[in-house]
Amino acid sequence: MAGYVSDAVIRRLPGYYRHLRELEKQGVVQISSQEMGKQMNLTPSQIRQDINCFGGFGRQGYGYKVSELKEHIGEILGLNNQHRMIIVGVGSIGLAVCNYANFSREGFETVALFDANPDKVGKLINGVPVLSDQELEKYISEHDVDIAVIAVPDVAAQAVMDRVAACGIKAVWNFAPIDLKYDSSMIVVNVHLSDSLQILSYKMAHADD
């Protein structure tokens, strides 16, 4: 498969996937990089370059077959693999992630939730059990878990990171608004909601620059 692929390209891949899925839904069979560029606010050459990172695709002058390209990008994104997630922290973010139907449709299945609050332990959220935070290590040792979602307050996040890393979990989706420390063998993607809102604020403040 591909050699080095830049972060910028990787960041664009889910957008292509989403757009192609939308086109497929609308019954579009074939699309040119020109047309796709117009719809996605990208230049046709950028689209061709991005897609070529992963091997030749599309034919000069013919464009791309929508379903084929969607499948191809889905494969590149690893969406053919099933992913089993645990969510640590059953606050509003943990609940939102657990309740978000799209994830399970895309092969990300939440198998357990963990919380330190005994009032939450034993409940079922969207069919998924809430277990005691104390049982984290035991659960991971007895079940297949691919991804840990960190949805605890920022002061508790590093400890959760350390615990799941010690259990051998390699992938973390972090919602706590801090920069976690971890071994370089770990794969960590952060959703810093405040960052996103601050970027909106930046753009509002500089709209007339």
Q: Which residues from 17-56 bind its own copies, rule CB under 8 A?
A: 17-19, 22, 40
Q: Binding of its own copies at residue 10 (CB under 8 A)? A: yes
What is the closest distance, in whole angstroms, from the C-beta atom of residue 118 to its own copies in the complex?
21
Q: Which of 28, 79, 116, 167 binds its own copies (CB under 8 A)?
A: 79
Give the range of 55-63, 78-86, 129-137, 157-165 binding its own copies by CB under 8 A: 78-86
What is the closest distance, in whole angstroms, from the C-beta atom of residue 124 to its own copies in the complex?
15
Compute and round to an integer the Cα radius of gyration of the chain. 20
Binding mask 100-119 for its own copies (x = CB under 8 A): x-xx--x-x-----------
Report the distance separating Cα 27 and Cα 72, nearest Å. Answer: 18
What is the closest distance, in whole angstroms, from the C-beta atom of residue 173 to its own copies in the complex?
6
Beta partners for residue 114, in sequence order: 88, 131
What is the closest distance, in whole angstroms, from the C-beta atom of residue 61 to its own copies in the complex?
26
What is the closest distance, in whole angstroms, from the C-beta atom of residue 10 to its own copies in the complex?
6
Report the distance separating Cα 94 and Cα 183, nearest Å. Answer: 24
Residue 163: both structure tokens together: 């615990």
Nearer to its own copies, 19 or 112 (CB): 19
Q: Which residues from 128-187 bind its own copies, rule CB under 8 A?
A: 146-147, 170-171, 173, 177-179, 187
Q: Which of 27, 78, 118, 168 binds its own copies (CB under 8 A)?
A: 78
Nearer to its own copies, 28 or 171 (CB): 171
Nearer to its own copies, 47 or 59 (CB): 47
